[in-house]
Amino acid sequence: MARAFLIVIDSVGIGGAPDADQFFNGQLPDTGANTVGHIARDVGLNVPTLEALGLGAAVKLASGEAAVGLDATPTGAWGAATEISRGKDTPSGHWELAGVPVPWDWHVFPDADPAFPPELTALICELAGTEGILGNRHASGTAVLDEEGEAHLRTGWPICYTSADSVLQIAAHEEAFGLERLIKLCHDLAPAVHDMRVGRVIARPFLGEVGNFKRTANRKDFAIAPPSPTICDYVHDARRTVHAVGKIGDIFSMRGIDDLRKGRDAALMGHIHDLADAAADGDFVFANLVEFDSEYGHRRDAAGYRDHLQWFDGELAALLPKLKPDDLLIVTADHGNDPTWAGTDHTRERVPVLVHGLGARALGQLQFVDVAATVAAHLNVPYAGQGKSFL
């Protein structure tokens, strides 16, 4: 049994989704998107630890195309997982990895100006105590600060924006608007937004002055609770400890979570290292590292994405020797975000499933839900969710 570690490297897709033609960035379909493959092709990629676990082999399995330079023979267990939920977003991917495919179609706000219906805008104003909002359109989270930050400081109105994902994001200055006020606004707004089948309301606090605004690490997601038990619930109900690292607690509305650790990716890796040293037998560590997606995928920064993958690879190399002989470590992703692709939205892709603790094995084509079933089987906890263990 020992422990189970599940690390989601957010948006690190490997192409090949069979329904990519049904998902779009602007007017262009996601057909052919391949986050890892295109980074390796365009800017080079040196990730020997991930490659040894089977990343290159997984890319070829998923997309049918070899990733440039990732041709080592795997010494880990590897496969490629396909999502069935009708989304390419954080809740869909994580819920399904946790054993619960999304049973509905998410509502997405139109790419129009304004994007939000008048009654929703009125509710935001009422809750915020303002006469209006800024933004009210599809926007990049960093660009919208440059575009609306000065008006935000002048008027005190919150900056509200969305994207091709099922999300409503609200940005506000931590000092001028107030961090607690922003968190409360998003908390109070979330039930009405969830009733619309919008997956998340996200508080996006920032600091700085005009021309130099920077988002802080105090982001908070208010997501719809999963409609049925997830792997977190099953492990928790078996009286084991579930450690959530990163935004996992937000994604699962803290259900089935015993211990929460947050921060930016460097701090989150520190938490994972600490848990490798200290977590007890039977514990489950569920982590999300978001900056692949938020800092590099959406910004279409292929070189930055490569550098972050190479940083993670070094951290992973230092983590593996800390694991106990009976530990299981799974590295996977929740969707794609090809930094070479059109638009700035997520891309519909298969994801890698890279496993330390099973020896060298080809796992083949998998489903997202197989990850949850495998964690349950490894920890020997009762599990009634979907999926088939690949142990």
The model's pLDDT over 364-377, given as tens digits with 9 standing for 90+, comes to 999 999 999 999 99
Q: What is the pLDDT of residues 35-73, one digit of tens each?
A: 999 999 999 999 999 999 999 999 999 999 999 999 999
Contact between 243 and 259 under an 8 Å Cβ cutoff? The reply is yes
Q: Please state, for a pLDDT cut of 70, what percent of the chain lies above it.
A: 100
Cβ proximity of 257 and 249 under 8 Å:
yes
Q: pTM here?
A: 0.90
Q: Find residue 287's DSSP bridge partners.
A: 7, 245
Cβ atoms < 10 Å from Cβ of 292: 23
Quick: pLDDT tens for 190-220.
999 999 999 999 999 999 999 999 999 899 9
What confidence score (pLDDT) does residue 142 get? Answer: 84
1 pLDDT tier (thresholds 50, 70, 90): confident
From first CA to last CA, the distance across the chain in angstroms is: 12
In this predicted model, what pLDDT tens digit does every residue of 97-110 receive, in sequence order? 999 999 899 999 99
Distance CA 385, CA 90 (A): 19
Distance (Å, whole) CA 161 – CA 204: 10
Q: Percentage of the chain surpassing pLDDT 90?
A: 95
Q: Is 172 helix (H, G, I), strand (E, B) or coil?
A: strand
Residue 215: alpha-carbon gap to chain centroid? 17
pLDDT for residue 154:
97
Check residue 165 and give its pLDDT: 85
